[in-house]
Amino acid sequence: MNATTIEQVNSKLKQLPESLLEVVEHYIDFLTYKHNQETEFQLIEEQKEILDNQENLPLSQYQNNADFLAEVKNEYGL
């Protein structure tokens, strides 16, 4: 973000009523959280392959998602 953009945002923030500043702060927190969620967790090729192989399984052979997630977290230290 360049200095001009920051200055424009600051100028707009200064014009907001106090009651809206908290809303803006929560929105910034949300955007930060969303960005972190998108960048923190990336599947490796092996994990993608596991998921792809499960795509066409009969319903009776599906692994419970909670069990699968626990297995992945345990195996990869997440």
Note down pLDDT in tens along the chain; length 78 residues: 688 899 999 999 999 999 899 999 999 999 988 888 776 677 889 988 888 887 877 878 877 889 889 999 999 888
Whole-number pLDDT of residue 2: 83
Whole-number pLDDT of residue 39: 65
Whole-number pLDDT of residue 12: 93
Contact 32/39 with Cβ under 8 angstroms?
no
How far CA 62 is from CA of 47, 51, 73, in Å, comes to 15, 11, 18
